Amino acid sequence: MKISNIDAYQIYDSRGFPTLEVEVELENGVSACGLVPSGASTGQFEALELRDGDKTKFRGKSVYKAITNVKEEIAPALIGKSVFDQQKNDLLMIELDGTENKSRLGANAILGVSMAMAKAAAAARGEALFEYLGKGEGNLIPLNEIQILGGGAHAGWATDIQDYLVIAVGAKTYEETLEMTHNIYHTAGELMKKLGKCVGIADEGGWWPDYKDNEEPFEVLMEAIKLAGYEPGKDVAISLDIAASDLYDGEHYRFKLDNKVFTRDEFYDLMSAWCKKYPIISIEDPFADTDFENWKRLQAELGHKVQIIGDDLFTTNIKRIEQGIDQGLANSVLIKLNQIGSVSETIDAIRLTQKAGWLPVVSARSGETEDAFISHLAVATNAGQLKVGSFARSERQVKWNENLRIQRKLGDKARFVGAALYKTIFS
Ligand code: PGA
Ligand code: ZN
């Protein structure tokens, strides 16, 4: 089944920022679109998101160059190629780009084509995307990591910590994780409003807080979990994304909220203390993407009972993940399609993570679209975990809802193992 046409045009993400939609059309008339997400607290090792930088067009954020690259360079190279050769076609785009970080054509241009190609191929086979990507092997409905409060770059630095999340570790079914999260999200919102601590909604749908320091939100989380009728640690655990690269100047970590400066040792002590004081089952980017010593130390101290996820640390990059595995820096990898910029490389990153006995967490970006590609990716690869931001706003809900549809389609074949997943890394 040959690719007959590729088109690209500018659409707008959940923040109203320009992004690309790419349409891949096949010789039988079937077509599909890929919608490209965009981060705000991006890692320095990510593939490059090409923006025009022309202040007179969408304040520098338009993506017309990336669109032109799809139409004038990528389309001529891929038209006539088999849509089922995902890996070969992704490689062809990578070679055509010719740079280490996809900076010539843009990772957004390449990813849009790559996603649309996978969706068109699935449609041509008459399969759901998860079936096509997983070659029929994917059937694990993921455990959700869901944001209750948003901070950092997603909430005008209302807190220095980026995400305060929960994981419904006691849930027996996927539906139950959603119900428990719904209850906690709304209980926390009511509680914060009553206390005058809620300013609004952050970029990923969580509550935008107004606190004096970064530890106060833990009390709200604990209280909301209890008020909603659950036992912290047993039914529902806390998860954090510190996004610590944003707090690090190469020597010190800094909290702007309460004007605190930490040496690397002091910041280690704080992260380790929080993990012991609160029922934290998962912590993402507790240290900067260059502070390997602290990563190694935390993994050695707490990796047997806390999921330690590298996001900015690994940026879904095979070479960086391999280095992390060799050095024992973490036990889990956050997986974001646009950090690396193609579907094939993303799946390779997941497979590498799993082969090492680590856990992948498939993730959305803070700037999202109505595309539910990642829900399919999570099930296709049996990744086991999905992080999409909060339990509100349609660009988030479309992902949670899609897993309900996938589960329904899988019928008896669908599996949900919930927190039993962590046995892989905690044993
Ligand atoms: P981003 O945030 O999409 O703004 O990078 C998500 C995350 O850090 O996990
Ligand atoms: Zn992160």
> From residue 35, how far is each of 61, 100, 116, 172, 367 by CA, in Å?
16, 23, 8, 33, 11
CATH architecture of the domain 143-424 equals Alpha-Beta Barrel (3.20)
- Considering only CA atoms, which of 192, 284, 299, 285 is closest in space to residue 238? 284
User: In angstroms, rounded to a whole number, what is the distance separating the alpha carbons of residues 159 and 230?
Assistant: 26
Amino acid identity, residue 255? F
**pLDDT tens-digit map of 272-327:** 999 999 999 999 999 999 999 999 999 999 999 999 999 999 999 999 999 999 99
CA neighbor of 91 nearest in space, from 303, 348, 304, 300:
348
What is the average pLDDT across 338-360?
98
Q: Which atom of ligand 1 is nearest to the CA of 363?
A: 9
Structure tokens at 165: 């999340």
What is the edge-to-edge ordering of all strands in the sheet holding 3-12? 3-12, 18-26, 31-35
Does the CB atom of residue 366 touch ligand 1 within 6 A?
A: yes
296 in active site:
no
DSSP string for residues in 56-88: TTGGGT--HHHHHHIIIIIHHHHTTSBTT-HHH
Q: What is the mean pLDDT of the chain?
A: 98
Q: What is the pLDDT of residues 211-259, one digit of tens each?
A: 999 999 999 999 999 999 999 999 999 999 999 999 999 999 999 999 9
Which ligand approaches the C-alpha of residue 152 most closely? 1
Q: Of 3.30.390.10, 3.40.50.300, 3.30.70.141, 2.160.10.10, which CATH number belongs to 3-126? A: 3.30.390.10
Residue 427's pLDDT is what?
A: 78
Percent of the chain exceeding pLDDT 70 equals 100
Is pLDDT at 412 greater than 90 in this prediction?
yes
372: helix, strand or coil: coil
pLDDT at residue 27, as a whole number: 98
Yes or no: say if 216 and 177 are a contact pair by the CB < 8 Å rule. no
CA of 145 to the centre of ligand 1 (A): 13
Helices (H), 142-262: 174-194, 216-227
Interval between CA 4 and ligand 2 midpoint (Å)? 38
pLDDT band at 91 (very low <50, low <70, confident <90, very high): very high
The residues, any chain, with a CB within 8 Å of residue 10's CB and separated by 6 or more, are 18, 19, 20, 21, 62, 63, 64, 67
Question: Is 127 one of the catalytic residues?
Answer: no
Parse the chain into domains and list their residue ranges.
3-126, 143-424
Whole-angstrom Cα distance, residue 311 to residue 159? 19
Average pLDDT over residues 394-414: 98
